[in-house]
Structure 1
Amino acid sequence: MPSHLLPVRTPHVPAPSDGESARAAAEPPSVAPVPFAGLRLVHSAIRRDLARFPNALRLLQPGDPAAGEALQRHWDFMTAMITCHHEQQDTRLWPLLRRFVPEMRLLLNWLEADHHNLDHSFTRVTTLVRIATRDAASSWPVAYAVEELAARLETHLRIEERQLLPRMDGVFPVGSRIGTLPELLDLLRAADGPASSDALVWLLEGVDERVVDRLLADCDDETVRHWPHWRDTYARCTDQLWGPQF
């Protein structure tokens, strides 16, 4: 698992007494939530897809429209997730942080403005990707444009992770739904955007199974029940793009 994905500090646990050891053996282990997992997972999934998308473009062959259409569908899904992510931050998260951490207002203003700049960049590259997926001869220069966009986005993601997430730990109490995976799925259900089932398997692709279990434990029963079917369906679709993932 990449080092930037869901970093969780290992808590210091004192040695239990004999009585505590007996009680612990009799009780089922608790599942600790992953703080701000929704935000972290979106960042990781975006990085993952932008890293492999250029090579998939370069491998497109003339006379294979199905491959180009599949790649275009995935690009459209990914950019829709990015748009939802930016809207969630600008309309829900940033206002809360401006209120409770006023000294960060300048940074939040810059991040919001940069969201708009990034959205324009994605719109431009989306036009290029649409051309490349229909005409394989133009795929190489478009692949370079995707790589440039990925480098541009990486600066934004690192600023959020290094300057913002550490401060959020001190703002939102343990157990808050802000930035969690269930909150993200609920927002997607309420918005006119990607299906929450598609988003979930996209977010959890490649994540260690033990972390997946922790994340699903924080979701509703219906999501947990349907997870294996959603995962297998998603895998069949994406295997055609970049090979087996699960």
Structure 2
Amino acid sequence: MESILSDEPSESRAVVEARLLHEAQRFATALLVDSVHRDPALSDAPAELRDFMVVTLRHYHDEQESLLWPQLISTDPAAAFWLVELSAEHDALDLALDRLGAVPLQDGEGRTELAAATATVRDLLHAHLEHEESLLFPALAAQVSDAAWTEFATASAGPGGRLTWWCVPVPG
């Protein structure tokens, strides 16, 4: 199995934690697609995973744009150009998340629509993360100290602490 962590001992905490989070997002979206195809009765599991993904991906993008992007722009104003691209991808993902969240799941209805919507979110997210990582990881490594990353992660989490910021509670 390929490691998601780099063998580079000098890799920054921001890059390591962002990479870990991105891999969790990739896995969760792939799992959601798989669960839709494996669960003919559409039990609560796909609905719960869907709701979790919709809420957490939105939260993650909101926190990046409101807290991390300004920090990156303050240290490198030219970053604004590529951050606009990433924000546009977030907008496209938000639209796909809206469609995914709106699929009815009562009594097995919406199965075809759910399969299509989950695949769209997965495909958009995976492509976005590949693009984001090519731009964001070098910027994180060069511009975001471990202390600044800890501050961002803590602010994103609220009272829960570091790295819980992507595991927000899903409304029941």
Q: Give the TM-score, by structure 2 length.
A: 0.79
The question of whether the paired residues in 1 share the 8 Å contact of 2:33 and 2:115 is answered with yes
Distance 1:183 1:101 in 2: 17
Mapped contact 2:158–2:165 kept (Cα < 8 A): no
Describe how 1:201-216 pairs up with structure 2 within 5 A: none
Q: 1:186 to 1:96 in 2, by over 3 A?
A: closer
| Residue of structure 2 in register with 1:160 after alignment | 132
**Cα distance change, pair 50–10 in 1 and its aligned pair in 2 (3 A):** same
Is contact 1:6–1:40 with CA below 8 Å preserved after alignment? Answer: yes
In structure 1, C-alpha distance between the alignment counterparts of 2:139 and 2:155, rounded to whole Å: 24
Is the alpha carbon distance of 1:61 and 1:172 closer, same or farther for their aligned partners in structure 2, counting shifts above 3 Å? closer
1:198: how far off?
8.9
The code of the aligned residue for 2:123 comes to: A
Q: Distance in 1 between matches of 2:124 and 2:75?
A: 29
Q: Take 2:116 and 2:57, find their aligned partners in 1: how far apart are those partners?
A: 20
* AA aligned opposite 1:160: E
Q: Which residue of 1 aligns with 2:158?
A: 189
Per the alignment, residue 147 of structure 2 pairs with 176
Structure-2 change in CA distance of 1:189 and 1:54 (3 Å):
same
**Percent of paired sites with the same residue:** 23
* Alignment check: 8 A CA contact 1:53 1:143 kept: no
Q: How does 1:88-107 map to 2 (within 5 A)?
A: 88-107=63-82
Secondary structure of the structure 1 residue equivalent to 2:102:
helix
Measured in 2, the distance between the counterparts of 1:109 and 1:150 equals 21
Instruction: Give the paired residue count.
Output: 166
Report which of the two has the higher share of helix.
2
Quote the offset at 1:98 in angstroms. 1.1
Q: Is the 8 A contact 1:98 1:104 kept in 2?
A: yes
**Structure 1 match to 2:28:** 49
Could you give the per-residue CA deviations for residues 87-115 of structure 1, whole angstroms, max 9, x where no partner exists?
A: 11101110111121112211111212321
Is 1:126 the equivalent of 2:101? yes
Q: TM-score, normalised by structure 1?
A: 0.57
- Amino acid across the alignment from 1:43: H
Q: Equivalents in 1 of 2:112, 2:34: separation in Å?
A: 9
Instruction: After TM superposition, list the pairs within 5 Å mapping 1:4-23 onto structure 2.
Output: 5-10=4-9
d(CA) in 2 for partners of 1:145 and 1:50?
11
Structure 2: runs of 5+ lacking an equivalent: none
Structure 1, unpaired ranges of 5+: 12-31, 201-246
Q: Report how far residue 147 of structure 1 moved.
A: 1.4
Distance 1:37 1:80 in 2: 23
Spell out, residue by residue over 1:127-183, the C-alpha distance to the aligned partner (whole angstroms, 9 max, x if none): 12xx2x32336424421331122111222111111122112211123x3241x5x85
Contact residue 42 and residue 85 of structure 1 kept, 8 A: no
Instruction: Return the index of the structure with the highest Cα Rg.
Output: 1
Displacement of 1:36 in angstroms is: 3.3
1:150 pairs with 2:94: no
Alpha-carbon RMSD across the aligned residues, in angstroms, is 3.0
Report whether the alignment pairs 1:71 with 2:39: no
